Amino acid sequence: MVGLQGAGKSTWVQRHLAATHAVVSKDHWPRARRREARQQRVVAELLAAGRSVVVDNTHPSPEERAPLVAAARAAGLPVRAVWVDTPLEQCLARVEARNATREERARVPLVGVLSARRRFRPPSEDEGFDRVDLVRPGS
């Protein structure tokens, strides 16, 4: 998955992939140390066990996506990017609304959304994806 915080990634995953894929996200271990290494290990183990996997994080830059492309390649499997392209203003409004209902430590800072927006580069087949799908609001 690729998309800013609040874009609608987790909702899309629940609707389209959760029945068929193991869902992995760093959000599942908000306080663990070395979350990136842990996630890579979990993804590799699931792929080795023959599961289809969806990784539900923001992944705004090619650098942040590269380890997952590499994990799929290492397992000899195809890899797809699903880019949930929701306008920044809408993402900010949703994150703000969601924060109001969350405990302090579960809140997503708005500066985090802006930071992801600054790093953002659209996913491309040049990065090694076999397929890039675009999801827009209302689609």
Ligand X SMILES: Nc1ncnc2c1ncn2[C@@H]1O[C@H](COP(=O)(O)OP(=O)(O)O)[C@@H](O)[C@H]1O
Residues that bind ligand X (CB under 6 A): 3, 5-11, 94, 98, 137
- Least Cβ distance, residue 9 to ligand X (angstroms): 3
- Residue (of 107, 122, 134) closest to 6 by Cα position: 107
- Least Cβ distance, residue 39 to ligand X (angstroms): 16
- Least Cβ distance, residue 57 to Mg ion (angstroms): 8
- Least Cβ distance, residue 58 to ligand X (angstroms): 7
Chain centroid to CA 67: 13
Nearer to ligand X, 72 or 84 (CB): 84
Residue nearest to ligand X (CB): 8
**SS3 label, residue 4:** coil
Q: Out of 6, 10, 99, 102, name the contact with Mg ion by CB under 5 A.
A: 10
Q: Side chain identity at 85, as an amino acid letter?
A: D
Alpha-carbon torsion, ordered 125, 91, 38, 77, to 10 deg: -30
The angle that helices 110-119 and 88-99 make with each other, rounded to 10 degrees, is 150
Does residue number 99 form part of the binding site for Mg ion (CB under 5 A)?
Answer: no
Residues near Mg ion, by CB under 5 A: 9-10
